[in-house]
């Protein structure tokens, strides 16, 4: 999660108080993916209606293709398709699946886009919330359906076969992709200065009218609004965080996080409270934050260092929290 660092003006002004240019800092907002989107951008006021429509159209397309919460989406149609059927994916869907499968292979399945049956079994999917853990039989049935290697996929033709019972869940990557779609679309419209946010993940370009940077503070799990794990400047950079404190349910003496380990079939049970990843593309930052959270403190940090990722881990140690950062993250933090 993020928060603003520093005050923000709402217009570019001349020293005498009147508008210096036809462009000013504006905020556009809307709803998507079960949350809210917000875009801060420098543009002429006359351009705002068209920009708002374009932003919403970018995000609506992602929902129409990849939302498991919509029965008529492309991903929902695939998930309920008969075994042996083959599906030609839209180009955007295929791009996200390509990235998801590449990360699944690179993390030996710690990240797995076929985790949908487990998402439903634990009550974090469209079927509905749970107040207790699933029984062993239900969990065993779900686990048998989870394995990215079951997918027969031809990326050149964008053709994906349904092996039977496969249930894709791209919620840990599609939101980041939606942010990339919006940011790339705005840049193509000549909007060079913007900060795009959907549900706490962000991508920034350029500067505010006063020349100051887009600076965001990384939330400290369980901390107050004044506490931050880090402050980062976003210019051609995205930030995404995965944490065990965001969505969960309590049953008995245990807290069950929405971040699931595809290997165990259960919510993560490690010392990681949150992982924040910086990357030029929010799609990759989003998915990598989840993957590193599942891998855990030791394996996750080792993976992040091997891949030279900019990552910040917040770890539970005794009754407190400690932070661990990769060299790439430290370098970015120094630029903030």
Question: What CATH number is given to the structural domain containing 86?
Answer: 1.10.3980.10
| Tokens (6 digits) for 62 | 């992602």
**Range of 88's domain?**
71-169
CA dihedral over 109, 114, 115, 121, signed as positive or negative: negative
Domain-located, residue 11: no
Q: Is residue 77 part of a domain?
A: yes
C-alpha count within 13 angstroms, C-beta hemisphere, residue 168: 31
For the chain, the maximum distance between any two Cα atoms, rounded to a whole number of angstroms, is 72
Conformational region of residue 200, where left means phi above 0, alpha means psi within -120 to 50, and beta covers everything else:
left
% the chain with pLDDT above 90: 74
The total number of residues shown for the chain amounts to 336
- Rounded Cα gap, residues 113 and 298, in angstroms: 23
Query: Of 56-60, 169-173, 264-268, 330-334, where does mean pLDDT reach its minimum?
Result: 330-334
Between 329 and 8, residue with greater pLDDT? 329
Residues 6+ apart with CB under 8 A from 190: none
Output the average pLDDT for the chain. 89
Confidence (pTM): 0.90
- The whole-number average pLDDT for the span 39-53 is 97
Phi, psi dihedrals of residue 278, rounded to the nearest 5°: -105, 135
**Confidence at residue 54, expressed as pLDDT on a 0 to 100 scale:** 98
Q: How confident is the model at residue 227 (pLDDT cuts 50, 70, 90)?
A: low
Q: Is residue 117 part of a domain?
A: yes
Mean pLDDT in residue range 142-169 = 97
Question: Which is more confident, 249 or 199?
Answer: 199
Q: Is residue 281 part of a domain?
A: no
Rounded to the nearest 10 degrees, the angle between the axes of helix 282-295 and helix 91-106 is 30
Judge whether 128 lies within some domain: yes
Mean pLDDT of 18-43: 86
Percent of the chain having pLDDT more than 70?
87
pLDDT of residue 336: 59
The mean pLDDT of 268-296, rounded to a whole number, is 96
Q: Which residues contact 38 (CB under 8 A, 6 or more apart)?
A: 27, 28, 29, 196, 197, 198
CB 278 within 8 Å of CB 313: no
Average pLDDT value for residue range 65-84: 97
Band of residue 122 on the pLDDT scale cut at 50, 70, 90: confident
CB-CB contact of 161 with 153 (8 Å) = yes
Sign of CA dihedral 218, 36, 259, 62: negative
Distance CA 114, CA 133 (A): 20
**CB neighbour class for 225 (10 Å; exposed up to 12, middle 13-18, buried from 19):** exposed
Q: How far is Cα 48 from Cα 28, in angstroms, rounded to an integer?
A: 8
Does 15 have pLDDT greater than 60? no
Q: Would residue 312 count as lying in a domain?
A: no
Give residue 165's region: left, alpha or beta (phi > 0; psi -120 to 50): left
Q: Does residue 205 register a pLDDT over 60? A: yes
CB contact at 8 A, 262 and 109: yes
Choose among 278, 282, 271: nearest CA to 319.
271
For the chain, what is the domain count?
1
Q: Band the pLDDT of 187: cuts 50, 70, 90.
A: very high
Q: Is 91 inside a domain boundary?
A: yes
300 part of a folded domain? no
Mean pLDDT of 226-233: 77
Q: Are 168 and 281 in contact (CB under 8 A)?
A: no
Cα angle value 101/273/304 (rounded, 5°): 45
pLDDT at 35: 94
> Which tokens is 167 given?
């249930």
């Amino acid at each position: 999660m993020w928060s603003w660092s520093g005050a923000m003006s709402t217009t570019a002004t001349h020293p005498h108080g009147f508008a210096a240019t036809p462009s000013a800092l504006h905020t556009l907002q809307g709803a998507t993916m079960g949350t809210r989107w917000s875009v801060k951008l420098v543009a002429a006021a006359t351009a705002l209606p068209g920009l708002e429509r374009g932003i919403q159209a970018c995000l609506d397309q992602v929902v129409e293709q990849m939302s498991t919460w919509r029965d008529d989406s492309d991903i929902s149609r695939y998930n309920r398709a008969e075994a042996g059927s083959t599906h030609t994916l839209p180009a955007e869907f295929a791009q996200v699946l390509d990235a998801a499968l590449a990360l699944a292979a690179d993390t030996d399945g710690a990240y797995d886009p076929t985790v949908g049956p487990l998402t439903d079994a634990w009550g974090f999917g469209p079927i509905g919330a749970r107040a207790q853990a699933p029984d062993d039989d239900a969990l065993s049935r779900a686990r048998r359906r989870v394995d990215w290697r079951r997918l027969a996929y031809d990326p050149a033709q964008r053709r994906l076969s349904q092996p039977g019972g496969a249930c894709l869940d791209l919620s840990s990557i599609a939101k980041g992709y939606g942010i990339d779609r919006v940011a790339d679309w705005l840049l193509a419209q000549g909007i060079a200065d913007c900060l795009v946010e959907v549900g706490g993940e962000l991508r920034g370009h350029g500067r505010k009218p006063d020349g100051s940077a887009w600076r965001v503070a990384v939330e400290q799990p369980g901390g107050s609004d004044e506490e931050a794990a880090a402050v980062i400047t976003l210019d051609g950079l995205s930030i995404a965080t995965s944490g065990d404190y965001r969505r969960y349910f309590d049953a008995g003496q245990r807290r069950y996080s929405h971040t699931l380990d595809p290997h165990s079939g259960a919510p993560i049970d490690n010392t990681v409270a949150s992982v924040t990843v910086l990357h030029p593309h929010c799609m990759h930052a989003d998915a990598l934050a989840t993957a590193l959270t599942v891998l855990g403190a030791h394996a996750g940090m080792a993976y992040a260092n091997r891949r030279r990722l900019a990552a910040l881990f917040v770890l539970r140690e005794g009754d407190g929290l400690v932070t661990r950062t990769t060299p790439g993250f430290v370098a970015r933090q120094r630029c903030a």
